[in-house]
Amino acid sequence: MCIRAGPSRVSVPTLEAPPELPPPVHTPQVIPPSPPPPTTIAVQTPKLTSAHGATRNAAVVTPPKGLDAPPQAVAEAKAAAVTRINPASPLEPPSRVYDFHQQVQNVVDAHRGNVDLIKADNQELVRPRHWDYVDYDDNHRPVLYNPLSEAMTFRYFYDGAYREAFVPAGGRIVLDAATVGLVPFTAVGDSHVASGSFYGGASIPPAGSDGPPPPTYTAPTPPDVYEHVSALVAADNQTVEVGQVEVVGHDESQPAGSQDTFLLDDSTLAWGQVNDSSSAAQIRVTRTQSLPGAGPTDNGSFLVALTALKEPSPPAAPWWPSALSYTGLVVGAGLIAWTISRPRRRADLTAADPRGD
């Protein structure tokens, strides 16, 4: 008798329900804070005081040479159609591959006659020309115009970063520079290097408008310009006289003695401190930068080296105009003498002729 065994039962483990997971935590999206609006309050800078006869025997720092352009080119650039620029996001050079510092070196290598090279602090520093072509519109916005036959790129520090603005040959840009303050810059083209500054604190008209500022707008007070300032160069322990000094700002995060920033002759950036009236010099300089925002810095010896840099004498007048003038005077005097003596000589000859009796 065959007995069939029933199907074997296989125990299947009971699957436990997965534990309930807590609902995901939705991390709120962190939105970076917007940059603070441009301040219309002028930066409080220290004031220079008079010193005790400091410039009496001080060597004078030679001011920068200008950057000449034909008067007609200046007038045309000043009247050219203006391009409105946000100074924190300016027009960049048209070339995608553009290095400002390399372009400066290219000018030095290829157009040595347009720049001076000054040896100071064991290095060769570029002495730029001065950029005079800065204007302001009715809203006190700085206007950079370019009368040269080459495009120029301006490098400056604004709104926490270095910026580069492009101005074509014969072109003109207006900067919506609302932040109050002195802004030094260095400009470079194909064959020139220059430096200068503009001042912010403008009233910014609405987009698409160039109307006058509102009645509530008050133009900022221009920075104080101090003339014939005595400056002690700490590295050389030598006092020099600077023709023009402006205080750019004060930064307490810098080392003591280097917390004040100056612009010298509207060309050279310098760090140091404003001295009190008991000091022999009005300011103390610990560091300079011949190309503001663009060049290497030195220990201030650049200023001492500039005292030995003399302006070239004007070209001598060609010799031939004076020679012709002198020859003309001699010939003229001879003709006059001959004309006067001729009647007298004829009279003498007549008196001596026996046929005259």
In a domain, 150, yes or no: yes
In this structure, the strands spanning 129-130 and 134-136 are unpaired
pLDDT of 226 > 60? The answer is yes
Across the chain, what does the average pLDDT equal? Answer: 82
The predicted structure's pLDDT at residue 41:
55
pLDDT tens-digit readout, 73-100 = 999 999 999 999 999 999 777 765 578 9
In a domain, 8, yes or no: no
Q: What is the mean pLDDT of residues 17-26?
A: 48
- Total domains in the fold of the chain: 1
Domain that holds residue 110: 59-210+220-307
- Residue that wins the pLDDT comparison between 318 and 146: 146
Closest C-alpha to 124, from 295, 271, 285: 295
Q: What is the DSSP string of 251-272?
A: -TTSPTT--EEEEETTTEEEEE
In a domain, 198, yes or no: yes
pLDDT tens-digit readout, 303-344 = 999 999 865 444 444 444 444 344 444 445 555 454 555 555
Q: What is the mean pLDDT of residues 243-254?
A: 95
First to last CA, the chain: 204
Q: What is the mean pLDDT of residues 130-146?
A: 97
DSSP state of 114: G
- Give residue 220's region: left, alpha or beta (phi > 0; psi -120 to 50): beta
How many residues are there in the chain?
A: 357
> pTM of the full predicted structure?
0.76
Q: What is the mean pLDDT of residues 195-221?
A: 93
Q: How confident is the model at residue 274 (pLDDT cuts 50, 70, 90)?
A: very high
Q: What is the mean pLDDT of residues 116-141?
A: 96
The predicted structure's pLDDT at residue 62:
97
pLDDT of 236 > 60? The answer is yes
The predicted structure's pLDDT at residue 171:
98
3-state secondary structure 171-216: CEEEECCCCCEEEEEEEECCCCEEEEEEEECCCCCCCCCCCCCCCC
In a domain, 248, yes or no: yes
Q: What is the mean pLDDT of residues 143-160?
A: 97
Q: What is the mean pLDDT of residues 228-245?
A: 97
The predicted structure's pLDDT at residue 153:
95
Report how far apart, in Å, the C-alpha atoms of 281 and of each of 154, 165, 232, 249 are.
33, 37, 6, 19
In this structure, the strands spanning 238-250 and 59-60 are parallel
- Euclidean distance between CA atoms 55 and 8, whole angstroms: 115
Residues 6 or more apart in contact with residue 179 via CB below 8 angstroms: 38, 39, 40, 158, 159, 200, 201
Whether 61 and 244 have beta carbons less than 8 Å apart is answered as: no
In a domain, 237, yes or no: yes
The predicted structure's pLDDT at residue 96:
57
In a domain, 327, yes or no: no
In a domain, 151, yes or no: yes
3-state SS, residue 109: helix
pLDDT tens-digit readout, 154-184 = 999 999 999 999 999 999 999 999 999 999 9
In a domain, 176, yes or no: yes
